[in-house]
A and B are shown apart, each in its own frame.
Chain A
Amino acid sequence: MPDLAFSAGDRVIVRDETPSHHHRTPWYIKARRGRVIEFIGMYLDSETRAHGGSGLPELPMYRVEFDQTELWPDYAESPDDKLWIDLYEHWLEPV
């Protein structure tokens, strides 16, 4: 088992950064607060693979849940609605 920074239930905030290289953290969750659902495994780093790298070492990835009302202040549907997304550990900070 890798040394993990987060576990299920942890409150996290997504880093508010926009690196110039390929990354798969969409803008709408940056600087937003969510909860870790679970650690889902170690995955090759798509941020280096996209630029010809090997993607190694593999990085921890978590499934993170956000309240839709946290993402969209004007969210007009149900306040209980959620968004799930998978994020590498280095995009997350503890709240």
Chain B
Amino acid sequence: MSEGKDRGGFYDTGWRPSDDLHRDEDGRPHDHPGLQEDVVLGVRASRALAMHELLVEKGVIGSGEVDDAIERWSERVPSNGASLVAKAWTDPEFKARLLEHPKETVVESGFVPEHNADIIVLENTSEVQHMVVCTLCSCYPTALLGPPPDWYKSFSYRSRAVTEPRAVMAEFGLELEDDVEVRVVDSNSELRFLVLPRRPDGTEGWSEERLAALVTRDSMIGVSGALEPGKD
């Protein structure tokens, strides 16, 4: 049962925007043999379509609601978080505000935290490395990083992140010195954590845009550092 597995991440049900299928005005798909030939639906996708059709029919959701939700999800991408990090690297006042009033600063920057969740920004330094996990489930700052990657939700990551964080980071390519304190942050409550990675050496004078390209999703979870210049 691998269909759909690697296409859209956590919330993927196999559903795709309605332009993939012909629809009536009320949003219900109708048969279109010419199109159906190249739209082969698996079990999960068929089930999702059937459920969608029923939910619309029963008036539980509007016909465009799922498409709107997909649209909102498509705006949740790691470059949102990366833009905040790059700005914090270049603008000390912004950085101070981001650390002190993270949620307000995130909202002012145009991002909408999911479920109106509080956001906390954790700064990595030469002395402390924060690394985020949700041992109970998969809490994650999706407004800033998009849907969590499969490994973040895996039992293996959720258990090893707390028992051997340095070994996990090493597997992501980050070898920490012994004198750097590791702080694993278990995201178990209503708050969402964004890690502000260290600005790489050799990036003096770089523009925000150029810096943002160094800020990976994994570095904002804290399992790795930002990319080094020349490797972006």
Contact = CB atoms under 8 A, between A and B. Distances in A.
B170 to A, nearest CB: 10
Interface in B170-216: 178, 181-186, 188-191
Interface stretch (B7-15, B20-28, B160-168): B160-168
Size category of the binding interface on chain A: 20 to 34
A6 to B, nearest CB: 16
A78 B61 CA distance: 52
Interface string A78-95: 101111111100000000
Contacts of A41: 118
A9 B90 CA distance: 33
B136 A24 contact: yes
Interface in A28-65: 28, 40-41, 43-44, 46, 61, 65
A17 interface: no
A83 B163 CA distance: 10
A53 to B, nearest CB: 15
B135 interface: yes
Contact of A83 (B118, B136, B164, B183): B183
B182 A78 contact: yes
A83 B190 contact: no
Contact of A81 (B136, B165, B188, B189): B165
B16 to A, nearest CB: 32
A26 B133 CA distance: 13
B188 A85 contact: yes
Q: What band does the interface of chain B fall in when counting residues whose beta carbon is under 8 Å from A?
A: 20 to 34
A26 B188 contact: yes
B162 A28 contact: yes
B180 to A, nearest CB: 8
A65 B183 CA distance: 9
Contact of A78 (B136, B162, B181): B181
Given A26-B188, A68-B182, 18 more contacts: A26-B135, A43-B189, A44-B190, A68-B184, A72-B162, A72-B163, A77-B165, A77-B167, A78-B178, A80-B181, A82-B182, A82-B183, A83-B162, A83-B185, A83-B186, A84-B186, A86-B188, A87-B189
Minimum-distance CB pairs A-B, first 10: A86-B189, A85-B186, A81-B182, A77-B166, A84-B185, A24-B188, A82-B183, A83-B184, A80-B181, A26-B135
